[in-house]
Amino acid sequence: MDLSLVIPVYNEEKNLPHLFEAIYTVLLPMNKSWEVILVNDGSRDGSLDVLRAYATKDPEHVRVVAFRRNFGQTAAIAAGIDYASGETIVLLDADLQNDPADIPMLLAKLDEGYDLVSGWRKDRKDNAVTRNLPSHAANWLISQVTGVHLHDYGCTLKAYRRDALAGFRLYGEMHRFIPVFAHSVGARIAEVVVRHHPRKFGKANYGLERTVKVVLDLFTVKFLLSYSNKPIYLFGGAGMGLIFGSALLMLYLFIRRFTDGVAVLGSPLFQLGVMFAIMGFQSILMGLIAELLARTYHESQSKPTYTVRETINLKK
C-alpha cells in the first residue's frame, strides 16, 4: 500500500459526502494504491451510517474504525495510524477546512527526501481572537521550547513517512507534537503552505481552552525529549541549585551574626535557607526515583535509547 489517509470524524455527517468527493477527485487519477481510514470518534449524528454506506460501496479504498464513545481527536488519529498500512500516511480533518487537493503537493515534497511534511495554514479561516492569536503564540512557544521551528503545529494536514511515526504513543492533545517526536528520532521535516477554508457544516469542537492543554502538554513533551533518559539531570540540577542557595543564605547569616550581631535564628532568611535545603534534598531523591522509572519505561517497552536509520552488513 502506498498511501493511507487518516481522518478523525466527530459529528461530520454533512461534511462527509463532500469530503469523499474531494478525496476521490484527488486520489483516483493518481497512480498509487491508497486507502482512507476514517475513525468515527463516537459521533452523535449519522456520521457512522454515512461512513458505513461509503465503505460498502467501495471496500477497496474505504476503511472505518468506530470508537465506542468519544475519545478525542488525538486518540482517533492514533487509532487511524495503528490501522494504516500505507508507506506514507497523510492526516487531515473531516470538516474540509483542510483541502484534500493539497495532498499531491505534500507527497511531492515528501519525495524530495523528507520524512514529514507539515501543512501551514498561512491564510487561516478561523476566529482571529479565540483561535488564530493563541495559535500563533503557541506555535512560537513550541518552536522556542523544542527547537523544531514550524509555523503551524495545529494544522492536521501533514504527510508522514511511516517510520517517522514509529516509536512513540500519543496522549492528550499530542498529535500536534508528532513533528517534535519525529524530529527527536531523526526525521527530516519540511513545511509547505496549504489552503484553509471556513467550516461549512457542523461546528468547531474547540475554543480557547485547548491552548491551555497544549501548553501543559508542552511541559510533558519537553521533559520527555530532554530528560526522559536522564531525569536526575533535571531534578538533581534543581536540587543542587537549591542546596547551593541554602548554603549561601546560611553563610550570609553566619557572617552577619559576627559583623552586625544579628541573631541567625531571628531572621526569616533562616527559614528560607532551611526550606531550600529540604526542597533540594527532596528534589534529588525525586530524581533518583525518576531514574528508576526511566529504566522501567525504556525496558518494559524494549524501547532503545537511540534510533537507527540504516545498518550496513548487519542482519538485525
The footprint of Mg ion (CB under 5 A) covers 93, 95, 97
- The residue (of 124 and 234) whose beta carbon lies closer to ligand UDP is 124
Which DSSP helix (H) or strand (E) runs through 278? Answer: helix 268-300
Residue 78 in the binding site for ligand UDP (CB under 6 A): no
Asked if 13 touches ligand UDP (CB under 6 A), the answer is: no
Bridge pairing between strands 88-91 and 34-40: unpaired
Binding partner selected for residue 47 from ligand UDP, Mg ion, none, CB under the kind-specific 5 to 8 Å limit: none
For Mg ion, the closer of residues 157 and 225 by Cβ is 157
Distance between CA 205 and CA 10 in Å, rounded? 9
Q: How far apart are the first and last CA of the chain?
A: 24
- Closest to ligand UDP by CB, 9 vs 187, is 9
Closer to Mg ion by CB, 97 or 184: give it.
97
Reading the block at residue 246, the C-alpha cell is 541554602
With cell 541549585, the residue in question is 241
d(CA 193, CA 115): 17
| 3-class DSSP state of 190 | strand
Task: Round to whole Å and give the CA distance between 33 and 175.
Answer: 25
What is the number of other CB atoms lying within 10 angstroms of the CB of residue 227?
Answer: 17
Q: Which does 173 bind (CB under 5 to 8 A by kind): Mg ion, ligand UDP, none?
A: none
- With contacts defined by CB under 6 A, name the span among 29-37, 176-184, 201-209, 216-224 that binds ligand UDP: 201-209
Least separation in angstroms between CB 40 and Mg ion: 16
- Helix H or strand E segment including 268: helix 268-300
Q: Which stretch binds ligand UDP (CB under 6 A): 56-64, 92-100, 144-152, 277-285?
A: 92-100
- Kindly tell me which residue out of 48, 94, 116, 178 binds ligand UDP, with binding defined by CB under 6 A: 94
Which of 107, 79, 76 is CA-nearest to residue 93? Answer: 76
Residue 186: CB minimum distance to Mg ion, A: 31
Pick from 82, 96, 237: which is nearest to 170 by CA? 82
Return the number of the residue (218 or 234) whose C-beta is nearest ligand UDP: 218
Least spacing, CB of residue 15 vs Mg ion, in Å = 9
Q: Which of 8, 100, 273, 287 binds ligand UDP (CB under 6 A)?
A: 8
User: Applying CB under 6 A, does 12 fall inside the site for ligand UDP?
Assistant: yes
Does residue 41 interact with ligand UDP by CB under 6 A?
yes
For the CA atoms of 128, 177, 170, 208, the dihedral, rounded to the nearest 10 degrees, stands at -20
List interacting residues with ligand UDP (CB under 6 A): 8-10, 12, 41, 70, 72-73, 76, 93-95, 97, 204-206
